Amino acid sequence: MADDTDATGSVAEDAPLSPSAVAPPVDVVERGPDVEPIATATVDESPPFVYAIGRIEPRFPSPAVEKEFAQAMGRSDTAGLTDPEALKEVVSDRSNRYLVRQLAWVLTIEGLETYVLVPRDPSDLDLLVDAVRPAPDPADVDVVVGVRGPIAPPELAGGLAIPIVIYDQIYSFDTDSLISAIPRPDGVDEDRFRPAANELFSRLIQIADNAGDADEHRALNYLAVRYPEIYAETARAFERNSSLSAVDVSPSRLTGARKIVDVVFDYTNRQTDVVESYFARVDVTEEFPFLVTKLSPYYRR
């Protein structure tokens, strides 16, 4: 638990690495004429928000959709293209938008099929199309922000029994682009900063059972893609001959009407075993987390 005697204050907003988005009201979402409306919240319960990091993959929910997609590909000029390039060509064609609506869009996290994605607004299908890369790379990352719904019906995703997420925003990028967008701290060489930032990002997204639906995981994922200072501090710690030894999340003492968590980063000196800790406070009350307190020294009681 954080010591509230630190000298930091609140900040109105952070410096995002991706475009900002505003969440529309939580209500009932419909997906096509043959699928029952999906209730995303009830009057008495807060909706289960999701802020997940993974990879988006289109799937064929039925043989009929797969055959129709093959016919659409046959009508397109895909000569000389690789399979991923041909897929991108077909889904990007506005005349094939009906197929984009019929595909099952699955978010995989650490290789596991975790969510079926459904847009709150039909115009947001473009975000799914943007997530299809003509040259996929293991470093590709998709961040999905939305509300978790019920388990998908069999016809929605080819029998996958995983939850639906009604998304409001998707950020698609690769790890190199993320790291390149982070300002390098003074006194740290570029060739040292990039490995340090890559290590921290990998550590955060590989934390066990991080499906992006628990408050602590939403806070971690938010900081991983929207708060560059955690990367700068990790690089400075490496320069001090310290290792990132632990990342911990706990409810903040400031929690009251709003849900606030403390994300603590522990750095252990490789020679003396002395531990230095830093923390940031994140408000996870609503769908879009935000920074409450900038990264500051943390003192355990």
For 171-208, what is each residue's pLDDT tens digit?
999 988 888 888 888 878 888 898 899 889 988 888 76
Q: What is the mean pLDDT of residues 111-133?
A: 95
Name beta bridge partners: 29.
38
- Per residue in 57-71, pLDDT tens? 999 999 999 999 999
Reported as type and span, the H/E element at residue 179 is helix 175-180
pLDDT confidence of residue 229: 94
Q: What is the mean pLDDT of residues 69-81?
A: 91
3 state SS of 34? coil
**Rounded to two decimals, what is the model's pTM?**
0.81
Q: Where are the beta strands (DSSP E) in the chain?
A: 28-29, 38-39, 49-59, 104-109, 112-119, 140-151, 163-174, 242-251, 260-269, 275-283, 290-297
pLDDT confidence of residue 78: 87
- Per residue in 246-273, pLDDT tens? 999 999 988 889 999 999 999 999 999 9
Choice among 9-18, 94-103, 215-224, 242-251 with the minimum mean pLDDT: 9-18
pLDDT confidence of residue 10: 43
- Supply 264's token pair: 């603590």
Order across the sheet with 260-269: list the strands. Answer: 242-251, 260-269, 275-283, 290-297
- Per residue in 218-238, pLDDT tens? 999 999 999 999 999 999 999
pLDDT of 20 above 70 = no
pLDDT confidence of residue 16: 40
pLDDT of 42 above 80 = no
pLDDT confidence of residue 238: 93
